[in-house]
Amino acid sequence: MSEIEAVNDVITVERAGPVALVCIDNPPVNAAGHAVRDGLTTAIAALEADMDVRAIALYAAGRTFIAGADIREFGRPPEDPWLPAVCNALEACAKPVVAVLHGTTLGGGLEVALGCHYRIGVPGLKVGLPEVTLGILPGAGGTQRAPRLAGIAFALEMITSGRQVPAEEALEAGLIDEIREGEPRDIALAAGAEALEGRIETRRTGTLEVAPDDAAIAEMRARMARRHPLLFSPHKCVDAVAACTKPIEEGLAIERALYEECQASPQRAGLVHAFFAERAVAKVPEAAHAAREIGRVGVIGAGTMGSGIATALLLAGCPVTLAEVNPEALARGRGTVEKNLAGAVTRGKLTEAGRDEALARLETATDLSALADADLVVEAAFEEMGVKTEIFGTLDRVLKPGAVMATNTSYLDIDEIAAATSRPEDVLGLHFFSPAHVMKLLEVVVAAKTAPEVAATGFALGKTLRKVAVRSGVCDGFIGNRIMQHYRKAADHMLLDGADFDRIDAALEAFGFAMGPFRVQDLAGLDIGWTYRKRHAATRPPEERYVAIGDRLCQEGWFGRKAGRGYYLHEDGDTRPNPDAQAIVAGERARAGIAPRSFTDEEIVARYMAAMIAEAARVVEDGTALRPIDVDAVLLFGYGFPRFRGGPMHYADSVGLPELVRRIEGYAAQDAHFWQVPPLLRKLADEDGRFADLNS
């Protein structure tokens, strides 16, 4: 007979003769928040003192063993007991302590396990120390105990990459001692008995010798310097692991000091914000509605975008019908899908059998009537209203009742597209980003008449595709492209005023953007922006400052990388500023009567960010985005915004809103049309508020 006693709300102890089972039950992921730490400490102390108990086994209820420290507690004053003390108490326990791990045993969860004396993994287990992705390092002994079990080189790779290691690999490396089938509780019960009978060999990780490996440390230091010159914590991770050849107490003290430096870093705050942004965007009003069932998906248009969307759907297991009127274009599109899937095989994301199955799910058609049985259709045809309304009119006739009709338009008015059908409630925008099978962002654009369950279906599809789906209202460019158009203008203004395009790119890349705005345009194709500007020429306010440099490049046919030249020359994999583009810049400056002035990198970044934040504030103010954190997610997952800075709204809060207002007012002295303080920004600044206040 066993008895179960609750230590607190999240920890129970079950006594089965001389074996005590400690169960952690803190849904959803058993994060090691204060109650878990406190409960474990109390339980271990009590069991150690209990003469009837001779072995202890830890396991967890629900989908996973502890998936890490409770990230929501970061940045708050720490509450005793800390996780390192819990791990040290487990290791010091005089009785054998076994841990049974399942699910995703990550971060502080793995550190708890490393503090135990024997580790059993349930098949399917993944372990990892992903702290580096949150701007910190494993601060509860992970940098000292992982190398003692798996060696310095393995621990360094695992800790600096944050990757999840499958059970088999963890076993081979020595991080866990065995893999055993069964329910975690049953395994814990059996293993506890085996431990006390000496049938499994328990030992304290901290007492193990670790072979020095200076070469691995030097190599990793060099790799981190190359790969992450702007990041703080990867370098601290290496420093912490390097201390593991010292006696364990000394190593743990060094780890703690480095951990605290990381916790205090603004990068930690930015990366944790990005972690929550990725999840917060799913909390939309329509989430309460049941999504429609999605089986076969139709994709219209076999260009780069349509083929990319089809690839993303196939990779997620959906059957797809790719439709394109032009048979040659359709054949090319199919070829692109095949190439994309082959790339996934090369990158190890897909097996060859998986590729064959994906291709077997792909059908092609030159007639939209082939989409009659589709549950959802994504139109990715030419970006022109007439083309779109014609397609939607046809879809209205051929699609079955209840089918969801999505347009992948980047800028066009979805209400107008929906009006071309007799069922506008079934129409929404699903705005993918190129390459659609790689980029994580998906804007789910909810039009005036979109039914809530249709919006919910858009989010469900986003989840199937493992994308970060963000809700946007209808406007010119939705959340992302609308903000981008604005900050690109700020970059163009600086270019005309004297900052060279390569200098602007370099300053923004040093700030952390994956690419500067001119390099991005070269990559995407300068003709895209040109088409946009031509479409807006008639409605452009006369007082708007217009920079025609991009137009001049396009008039020469210099569309960027695909043409071999744009702002840059793209030759043999090499990129350098295009002297002809520089001449065009000089000519435009002269034509406008501008004496070029110099800009510091700080000024370039400040103006660019002020423009981004100003338009982002308007996007929140007019309800296009639900909350500031949605804007952050869009820029982070679709526009190469540096993750460690958390997104433009988080960054704005870190700069200080009154300071931003002052900057914009200063710039307005030169261009009052472009630089206007958004009322929301002014209001928050006046009230000493932050954008973060609007996130809940």
Q: Which positions are annotated as active-site residues?
A: 111, 131
Distance CA 690, CA 684 (A): 6
From 36, 140, 417, 499, residue interacting with ligand CAA (rule: CB under 6 A): 140
Specify whether the CB–CB gap between 686 and 662 falls below 8 A.
no
The tokens describing 473, both together, are 């209202």
**Phi, psi at 443, each rounded to 5°:** -90, 125
Asked if 106 is part of the footprint of ligand CAA (rule: CB under 6 A), the reply reads: yes
Yes or no: say if 192 and 99 are a contact pair by the CB < 8 Å rule.
no
Judged by CB under 6 A, the residue of 39, 121, 135, 138 near ligand CAA is 138
The least CB distance from residue 29 to ligand CAA, in Å, is: 4
Q: Does 28 bind ligand CAA (CB under 6 A)?
A: yes
262 versus 479: smaller Cβ distance to ligand CAA: 262
Residue owning tokens 């059957």: 319
**Stretch 63-102 residues interacting with ligand CAA (CB under 6 A):** 67-72, 83
Q: Closer to ligand CAA by CB, 73 or 219: give it.
A: 73
The footprint of ligand CAA on residues 265-294 (CB under 6 A) is 279
Among 116, 134, 238, 685, binds ligand CAA (CB under 6 A): 134
What is the Cα–Cα distance from 357 to 431, expressed in whole angstroms? 26
Nearer to ligand CAA, 29 or 447 (CB): 29
Task: Determine the size of the site formed for ligand CAA (CB under 6 A).
Answer: 23
Give the integer Cα–Cα distance in Å for 326 and 330: 6
Nearer to ligand CAA, 69 or 605 (CB): 69
Which of 164, 582 has the CB closer to ligand CAA?
Answer: 164
* d(C-alpha 442, C-alpha 457), whole Å: 13
29 belongs to the binding site for ligand CAA (CB under 6 A): yes
Rounded to a whole number of angstroms, the minimum distance from the CB of residue 63 to ligand CAA is: 7
Q: Is 307 in a helix, a strand, or coil?
A: helix
Options 21, 23, 65, 107; binder of ligand CAA; rule CB under 6 A: 107
The reply on whether position 10 binds ligand CAA by CB under 6 A is no
Task: Kindly state whether residue 131 participates in binding ligand CAA, applying the rule CB under 6 A.
Answer: yes
- 153 vs 219: CA distance, rounded Å: 10
Among 96, 115, 121, 130, binds ligand CAA (CB under 6 A): 130
Closest by CA to 54, choosing from 23, 113, 96, is 96
Minimum CB separation from ligand CAA for residue 114, in Å? 11
Beta strand 118-121 with 178-179 is: parallel
Q: In whole angstroms, how far apart are CA 469 and each of 68, 277, 287, 377?
A: 25, 11, 12, 17
H or E stretch covering 119: strand 118-121
User: What minimum distance in Å lies between the beta carbon of 541 and ligand CAA?
Assistant: 42
Task: Give the shortest CB-289-to-ligand CAA separation in angstroms.
Answer: 18
How many CB atoms sit inside 10 A of residue 256's CB? Answer: 16
* Omega before residue 81 within 30° of 0, cis: yes
CB nearer to ligand CAA: give 129 or 479: 129
Pick from 428, 377, 642, 410: nearest CA to 525: 410
Nearest distance in Å: CB 396, ligand CAA: 37
What is the distance between the alpha carbons of residues 111 and 175, in angstroms, rounded to a whole number?
Answer: 11
CB of 181 to ligand CAA, least distance (A): 22
Shortest Cβ 77–ligand CAA spacing (Å): 15
Q: How far is the CB of 33 from ligand CAA (least distance, A)?
A: 7
> How far is the C-alpha of 345 from the C-alpha of 364, rounded, in Å?
22
Binding test (CB under 6 A) with ligand CAA, winner from 39, 96, 108, 529 = 108
Q: Segment contacting ligand CAA (CB under 6 A): 134-142, 204-212, 223-231, 598-606?
A: 134-142
Cis-peptide into 234, omega within 30 deg: no
Closer residue to ligand CAA, CB minimum distance, 136 or 391: 136
Query: Residue 464 in contact with residue 458, Cβ under 8 Å?
Result: no
Q: Which is nearer to ligand CAA, 73 or 415 (CB)?
A: 73
CB of 279 to ligand CAA, least distance (A): 4
Cα–Cα distance, 663 to 670 (Å, whole number): 12
Type and span of the H or E element at 268: helix 266-280
Residue 18 or 166: which CB sits closer to ligand CAA?
166
CA angle at residue 184 from 179 to 187, to 5 degrees?
A: 65
Q: Are 656 and 691 in contact (CB under 8 A)?
A: no
Taking CA atoms, 259 is separated from 36, 70, 161, 165, 236, in Å, by: 21, 15, 17, 23, 8
Question: Which CB sits closer to ligand CAA, 28 or 348?
Answer: 28
In the list 91, 111, 527, 588, the residue contacting ligand CAA (rule: CB under 6 A) is 111
Residues 22 and 11 sit within 8 Å (Cβ to Cβ): yes
Q: Which of 54, 59, 79, 58 is CA-nearest to residue 69?
A: 79
Residues that bind ligand CAA (CB under 6 A): 28-29, 31, 67-72, 83, 104, 106-108, 111, 130-131, 134, 136, 138-140, 279
